[in-house]
């Protein structure tokens, strides 16, 4: 598919502070691309540069094969939904939707028709006569989205559009937004600090930190094969467990020992011997009521109840290890056995926080059966 948006070595400094440094990425035609990271990572700055509200200090912004660095915002063909939605509070919803058409010289009759059609599509018909200032947050969000969609931008930019909404509303809007995007084949560039939003909506996710791009890939890639410790810890709820381990080289292969568990896995990869870290998702922590090979006994300290599943916090040395179980599996204070399913575990190199690709990291054959 063709590249709709390309960022080449994009850079922005505020004073001496580098907000974005050397960011390069491509958003393909019709793709939903999320830029995710903690606050202050430079994602909103990136968005403002693409929209034309901020001047880049270095690098190129290419939209539809055209360098737009020096174009004013209006001529870039982008649509922007602000974090605070910026609905025109003094205009009616109808006038809000018609605004972009009006400035493009669309006739009154045609405007009315287009507004009506889009309002029906987005369930806004009942709001059309209301004043922008009288809407609640989730209504504002839909109006802001519709206002931008109606002019059919080449690229739709969304700046944390869910952060002002209640959790319950957020979850239902995720699906809605994604469906609208699919139905229209709209290229979307979505900025958020919420990894759940990014995972559930995106075709691809770019993880950013400190102005730099750490990893870009499909949600599955980002979740299952993070490139470093930050991505692994940032993505996933409940978060991944990161535990100290010892790596031994054993001929062409390496062996991973976890204190208390002994040798948990073997595989092939390039990593120095010594103390490293291992990341295991709570789903891959196996909890049982009976002793199994490779499992150690532990106590349940807390339980987080998520309704459909419970997350146990299990004592391990001076830390707690999270494990996902079915509801009602154990109660607080219960003694259970825990072990690791190592097939999806990640080996994190100490010092660099890089995740080392290991061929066939597998449970130690000796302990099996």
Partner 1 sequence: MADETVKMEDVDMISRRRAKRWIPFNVALVLPAQLTVMAVVLIPTLIILWLSITDWQPTQGIPWFKAYVVGLDNFRELLHDHRFTAAVLRTLFVVIVCMAAEFVLAMSLALLFLDEWPWRKIAVSAIILPMMVVPVDAANAFFMLFGDRGPINYAISLIIGRSFEFGWLENPNWALLPIMLAEIWQWTPLMFLLILTGLMNLPENQVRAAYVLGASRTKIFFKIMLPLLTPVIIIALLIRGIETFKIFDPVYILTHGGPGSSTETISMFMYDSAFEFFRMGYVAAAGLLVLVVVVSICVALARPLREHHR
Partner 2 sequence: MQKIVINALGKSFDTVTALDDVSFGVETGQLFCVLGPTNAGKSTLLKTIAGLYRADRGEIVIDGETVNYLLPHERRVSLLFQNMALFPTLTGFQNIAFPLRTGGLAESEIKEKVGAIARLLKIEQILDRRPATFSGGEQQRVAIGRALVQPGRVLMLDEPLTNLDARLRIELRIEFKKLHKELGQTIIYVTHDQVEAMSLSDRIAILDSGRLHQVGTPNEVYHTPANRFVAEFIGSPPMNLMNAELNKNDSTLYAIGKGFAVPISSRHTALLNASPPRNGIAVGIRPENIEVSGAESPRNPIAADVIWVESLGSKSILSLQVGDALVRAVVKPTDPIQKERRAWIGFPLQAQHILDLGTECFVR
Tell me the C-alpha distance between 325 and 283, whole Å. Answer: 8
Q: Which does 111 bind (CB under 5 to 8 A by kind): partner 1, partner 2, none?
A: none
Cα–Cα distance measured from residue 158 to residue 82, given in angstroms and rounded to the nearest whole number: 7
Minimum distance of partner 2 from residue 67's CB (angstroms): 34
194: contact with partner 2 by CB under 8 A: yes
Question: Is the CB of 76 or the CB of 142 nearer to partner 2?
Answer: 142
CB 191 within 8 A of CB 42: no
Which of residues 232 and 266 has its CB atom nearest to partner 2 in the complex?
A: 232
Q: Output 75 or 292, the one with its CB closest to partner 1.
A: 75
**226-263 as b/e: b if 16+ CB within 10 A:** bbbbbbbbbbbebebbbbebebeeeeeebbbbbeebeb
Among 74-82, 101-109, 151-159, 187-195, the segment contacting partner 2 (CB under 8 A): 187-195
Among 283, 296, 334, 341, binds partner 2 (CB under 8 A): 283
**Could you check whether the bond before residue 126 is cis, i.e. omega within 30 degrees of 0?**
no
* Residues touching partner 2, count (CB under 8 A): 44
Residues contacting 364, CB < 8 A, separation 6+: 255, 263, 264, 265, 266, 294
Measured from the CB atom, is 130 or 301 closer to partner 2?
Answer: 301
Q: Convert residues 167-186 into a mask of x (bound to partner 2 by CB under 8 A) and - (unbound).
A: xxx-x--xx--xx-------
Which of 148, 336 has the CB closer to partner 1?
148
Would strands 212-217 and 204-209 be described as parallel, antiparallel, or unpaired? Answer: antiparallel
Say if CB 326 and CB 320 are below 8 A apart: no
Of 88 and 337, the one with the shorter C-beta distance to partner 1 is 88
Give, in order, the Cα–Cα distances in Å from 296 to each of 103, 234, 284, 315, 317: 69, 28, 15, 11, 12
Q: Which is nearer to partner 1, 99 or 337 (CB)?
A: 99
Residue 42: which of partner 1, partner 2, none does it interact with, CB under 5 to 8 A by kind? Answer: none
Distance of closest approach, residue 64 Cβ to partner 1, in angstroms: 17
Does 238 participate in binding partner 2 (rule CB under 8 A)?
Answer: yes
β-pair type (155-159, 78-81): parallel
Check binding of 38 to partner 2 (CB under 8 A): yes
3-state secondary structure of 56: coil
Q: Which residue from 217, 195, 197, 196 is spatially nearest to 206, judged by alpha carbons?
A: 217
Structure tokens, 150? 């109606």
Q: How far is the CB of 358 from partner 1 (least distance, A)?
A: 47
Q: Which of the choices partner 2, partner 1, none does residue 250 contact, using the CB cut-off of 5 to 8 A by kind?
A: none
Task: Give the binding site for partner 1 (CB under 8 A).
Answer: 51-53, 73-74, 78-80, 82, 84, 86-91, 99-100, 103-104, 144, 147-148, 151
């Amino acid at each position: 598919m063709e590249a709709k948006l390309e960022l080449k070595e994009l850079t922005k400094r505020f004073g001496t502070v580098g907000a974005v440094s050397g960011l390069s990425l491509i958003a393909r035609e019709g793709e939903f691309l999320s830029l995710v990271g903690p606050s202050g990572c430079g994602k909103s700055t990136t968005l403002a540069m693409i929209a034309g509200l901020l001047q880049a200090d270095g690098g190129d912004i290419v939209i539809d094969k055209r360098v737009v660095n020096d174009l004013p915002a209006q001529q870039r063909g982008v649509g922007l939904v602000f974090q605070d939605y910026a609905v025109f509070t003094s205009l009616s919803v109808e006038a809000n939707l018609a605004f972009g058409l009006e400035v493009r010289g669309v006739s009154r009759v045609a405007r009315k028709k287009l507004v009506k059609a889009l309002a029906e599509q987005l369930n806004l018909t009942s709001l059309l006569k209301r004043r922008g200032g009288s809407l609640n947050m989730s209504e504002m969000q839909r109006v802001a989205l519709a206002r931008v969609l109606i002019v059919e931008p080449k690229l739709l930019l969304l700046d944390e559009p869910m952060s002002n909404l209640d959790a319950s509303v957020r979850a239902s809007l995720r699906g809605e937004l994604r469906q609208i995007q699919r139905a229209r084949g709209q290229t979307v560039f979505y900025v958020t600090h919420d990894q759940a939003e990014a995972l559930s909506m995106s075709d691809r996710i770019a993880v950013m930190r400190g102005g730099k791009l750490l990893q870009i890939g499909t949600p599955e890639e980002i979740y299952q094969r993070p490139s470093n410790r930050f991505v692994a810890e940032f993505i996933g709820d409940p978060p991944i467990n990161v535990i100290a381990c010892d790596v031994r080289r054993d001929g062409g292969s390496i062996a991973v020992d976890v204190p208390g568990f002994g040798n948990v896995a073997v595989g092939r990869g390039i990593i120095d011997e010594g103390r490293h870290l291992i990341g295991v998702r709570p789903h891959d922590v196996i909890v049982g009521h009976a002793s199994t090979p490779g499992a150690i006994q532990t106590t349940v300290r807390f339980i987080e109840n998520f309704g459909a599943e419970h997350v146990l916090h299990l004592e391990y040395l001076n830390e707690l290890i999270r494990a996902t179980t079915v509801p009602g599996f154990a109660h607080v204070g219960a003694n259970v056995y825990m072990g690791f399913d190592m097939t999806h575990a990640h080996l994190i190199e100490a010092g660099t926080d890089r995740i080392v690709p290991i061929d066939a990291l597998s449970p130690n054959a000796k302990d099996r059966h």
